[in-house]
Amino acid sequence: MLRRTRLRPFGKRGKQWAEAKQAAEATLERRSNGRCEYCHKRFDRLDTHHAAGRPGSGLCLGPVADTADLLTRLCHDDPMTGNQGCHTLAHFDSLVRDSVRFAAAERLARTLDDDAAWSVYSDISLPIDDTLRELARMWDERQKA
């Protein structure tokens, strides 16, 4: 049987990302309050889901992907009943995935809290992936300033 271990962050950037994700976990715990953020049912255990993929994959958003705004708590599969949890559905069902991404985009726009961010978020002609990329670019610029 294989044993799962956490990868240790390497280098300065890896350590920064790990610290940011650890801080985000506490925020997620308070925000979800033991409930799935999609179906809103209470669960003993919730999975942390990257709404826009992990740093370096998915939408390639970098460190913003590990912020509390783009992370969400979703219920996991129930092995006793065979029911799929919202975490699995977010990976395979486009309706659930887009709903989770829209909620994440709204949280990120609320964090940025300026007219440009709300303009990007409310532009319905943009696909949600492009909205997230643009909001992530704004977040990144703010971090560098």
Let me know: does 104 contact 90? Beta carbons within 8 Å.
no
Confidence of residue 23 (pLDDT cuts 50, 70, 90): confident
CA-wise closest residue to 51 among 35, 67, 75, 29:
67
pLDDT tens per residue, range 80-115: 888 899 999 999 999 999 999 999 999 999 999 999
Half-sphere exposure of 143 (CA within 13 A, CB side): 13
Burial of 30 (0-12, 13-18, 19+ CB in 10 A): exposed
Let me know: does 101 contact 90? Beta carbons within 8 Å.
no
Write down the pTM of the prediction.
0.82
pLDDT tens per residue, range 30-54: 999 999 999 999 998 899 999 988 8
